[in-house]
Amino acid sequence: MIGCFDIGGSAIKAAYAVAPDALTNGARVATPLDDFAAFAAAIRQLCGNEQGLVEAVSISIAGVVDPQTGRLKCANIPCIDGRAISRDLEAAIGLPVFIANDADCFALAEATVGAAAGHRNVFGVILGTGVGGGLVVDGRIVTGAGGFSGEWGHGQALATEIGTPPRRIGHFACGCGQKGCVDTIGGARGLERLHLTLSGQALDSHAILSAWRDGEASAAQTVAAYLELVAPPLALTLNITGSSIVPVGGGLANAWDLIEALDAAVRSRVLRRVEGPLLVKAALTSEPGLTGAAILGFQARDGAPLRPLS
């Protein structure tokens, strides 16, 4: 079996898989943030490898692995940030380790056994605290030495004016070190930042969306601005990737009326016009990261590398 893990800054969630679609849930422990030895020990303990049942480890993680160096960028877990994570974990636990970004694992799971099953070209989108994405073609995550495919949330992509007549809003600084990234607007914290900028009101995303549904003017202005800012870069991403479906996960996906409005805004901007929705609800609402890690692990174990982009 393969030990599957979904790792974030708060918790390590474990499961065991005897097949890509056959997972047994394991334990959940707090993530050791500042001690790599403790981090590796937690993985080793959760594997239960004293009986020799686990043959490899597959990890979905809130970070990105440099495709050339193997080094992980994971700002919220300092003890693994900058490490050649697969190599270091393999040395510590004595098992092969396969690892991918959590949004990539989400997209892989949805493309294989979720809402996008049967589609050849799938772009999965996470709209949570921030923005993530993953590209899957022919059932495999697209990766390559040229960069981090699927990361539509980063890069100076946002407009600086909205509305008619145009109103200047400028660019917000992003945690990646750039300004004007979709990540600064597209997630829940971004929606809150946008509302504060436009209305002067400090509300959480739930309150903003509730007020929007009630027809409150300032919330309606914020949501209109959100759609105007986020839809163009997502439409451009779909033009470039040619994806025929976009499963959406993350906290904002629970506000499906917002996602339906975003879908309409995206479909009005893509080159290939379609009648039905492009953005669809993710089918795997329970542990998509673990499911994606399981699929990744069996692909890698069986000698099927991630689909190269270059």
Give the model's confidence band at 308: pLDDT under 50 very low, under 70 low, under 90 confident, else very high.
Answer: very low
- The tokens describing 144, both together, are 């390559």
Q: What is the pLDDT of residues 240-257, one digit of tens each?
A: 999 999 999 999 999 999
Structural domains of the chain sorted by starting position, each given as residue range(s) with its CATH number in brackets: 2-104+286-308 (3.30.420.40), 117-281 (3.30.420.40)
Res 306 pLDDT > 60: no
Q: What is the pLDDT of residues 216-227, one digit of tens each?
A: 999 999 999 999
**Mean pLDDT for the chain overall:** 91
Q: What is the pLDDT of residues 57-113, one digit of tens each?
A: 999 998 888 888 889 988 889 999 999 999 999 999 999 999 999 999 999 999 999
Answer for the pair 40, 89: CB distance below 8 angstroms, yes or no.
yes
Q: What is the pLDDT of residues 198-239, one digit of tens each?
A: 999 999 999 999 999 999 999 999 999 999 999 999 999 999
Answer for the pair 121, 241: CB distance below 8 angstroms, yes or no.
yes
- pLDDT (average), residues 263-278: 94
- The tokens describing 97, both together, are 């380790």
pLDDT of residue 275: 87
Answer for the pair 122, 111: CB distance below 8 angstroms, yes or no.
yes
Interatomic CA distance for residues 275 and 256, integer angstroms: 18
Position with higher pLDDT, 170 vs 245: 245
Give the model's confidence band at 145: pLDDT under 50 very low, under 70 low, under 90 confident, else very high.
Answer: low
Res 305 pLDDT > 50: no
Q: Given its phi and psi angles, is residue 118 left (phi above 0), alpha (psi -120 to 50 degrees) or beta?
A: left
Q: What is the pLDDT of residues 172-194, one digit of tens each?
A: 998 888 999 999 999 999 999 99
Res 144 pLDDT > 70: no
Contacts of 151 (CB under 8 A, 6+ apart): 64, 132, 133
| Angle of helix 85-93 versus helix 36-47 axis, rounded to 10 | 60
pLDDT of residue 57: 94
CA count, 13 A, side-chain hemisphere, 85: 29
Query: Could you give phi then psi for residue 122, rounded to 5 degrees?
Result: -125, 130
pTM of the model: 0.91
Interatomic CA distance for residues 224 and 167, integer angstroms: 13
